Amino acid sequence: MQNDHWPDSTRFWRDKRVIVTGGAGFLGSFVVEKLAERGAAGIIIPRSADYDLTCLTATRRLLADTTQSQADGTVKPVDMVIHLAARVGGIGANRENPATFFYDNLMMGTQLLHESYLVGVPKFVAIGTVCAYPKFAPIPFREEDLWNGYPEETNATYGMAKKMLLVQSQTYRTQYGYNSIFLLPVNLYGPRDNFDPDSSHVIPALIKKCFDAQVEAQPAITAWGDGSPTREFLYVADAAEGILLAAERYNDSLPVNLGSAHEITVRDLLATIADLTGFDGEIVWDTTKPNGQPRRKLETTRAKALFGFESVMPFAEGLRRAIAWYRQQAMAGALTL
């Protein structure tokens, strides 16, 4: 979507050098691809083996290593940091590692934003999470409701750690005039997702269960909870587009939701995935396992108004693409779980 007061994407990015933390990951790989398509001058993808962003010295080294010397003898930092790196997982991983998820995500974000401000990086794009919303926030989740309660318990520490980036963004803008933005994507899905059953989110976990059961002729699969919670899902390439539109066009610290406005129960989601993968066996619901947050659905008008973002991928087609990718990888033996 182009508008007279918004810059042309190619013109905006052609002289920009950008650090994309988590750029080798699921969402990050799509952001990097779209940056390349837009002609970004330089895309830097720090690997955790080289830069442990929970460590302050590594964060400082990353920013120092990516500065450029100028003709006048000064050094110029990168033009933007897009911070996607996070320690993430499904309900099980969050329940087993609440302290780790809190500490690692807090340290990565807080230190990177602070050090980016200190060295003069012109803009910082912080990615939050729908898990930051209160457990019983009114539906649809509006950005104004972020502080009206505590997040759902099974992923609260992750959500709170990421929400601190919003506090930091707003206070650094107030005190220092620093340009950082904070985006709240809903649950993502699509090709290249994490299908490890120990750490995956709901869609890849259910795709793997159904596909593997169908291939192995298993008579039944087991799913967590009772299937009643609802979720909204955003196709990963749409999320990447929303992030880059905000990076180009949005310069404020009001939080902004990124979603699709498509809500579905987990029970209906599993039925759809079973149908698309060809699994026709029994589905057993393990009600001793937690459901997680009762409902998730975002109000998305702010993103459209402020930087022209709307999702475009139909949900069923996005699921087909995710399943096709998993099928191809699984049959080729290319998955490393």
Q: What is the CATH number of the domain that holds 166?
A: 3.40.50.720
- Of 88, 92, 95, 176, nearest to 127 by C-alpha is 88
Question: Does the pLDDT of residue 327 top 60, yes or no?
Answer: yes
* 204 within some domain: no
Question: Does the pLDDT of residue 56 top 80, yes or no?
Answer: yes
Q: What is the DSSP letter of 257?
A: E
Q: What is the DSSP letter of 265?
A: E
CA distances from 124 to 20, 54, 200 (A): 10, 17, 28
DSSP assignment string, 78-123: -SEEEE-------HHHHHH-HHHHHHHHHHHHHHHHHHHHHHT-SE
* 219 within some domain: no
Question: Does the pLDDT of residue 336 top 90, yes or no?
Answer: no
* 215 within some domain: no
* 87 within some domain: yes
* 42 within some domain: yes
Domain that holds residue 23: 9-193+233-261+296-313
Question: Does the pLDDT of residue 4 top 60, yes or no?
Answer: no
Sorting pLDDT into bands at 50, 70 and 90, what band is 2? very low
Please give the average per-residue pLDDT across 296-315, as a whole number: 96
* 279 within some domain: no
* 45 within some domain: yes
* 84 within some domain: yes
User: How deeply is 337 buried, as exposed, middle or buried, from its count of CB atoms within 10 A (0-12, 13-18, 19+)?
Assistant: exposed
Distance, in Å, from the CA atom of 32 to the CA atom of 40, rounded to the nearest integer, reads 9
Residue 1: predicted pLDDT: 40
Helix, strand or coil for residue 284? Answer: strand
Question: Does the pLDDT of residue 5 top 80, yes or no?
Answer: no
Question: Across all residues in the chain, what is the average pLDDT?
Answer: 94
Structural domain count, the chain:
1
Active site amino acids: 158
Instruction: With beta carbons less than 8 A apart as the criterion, state whether 44 and 38 touch.
Output: no
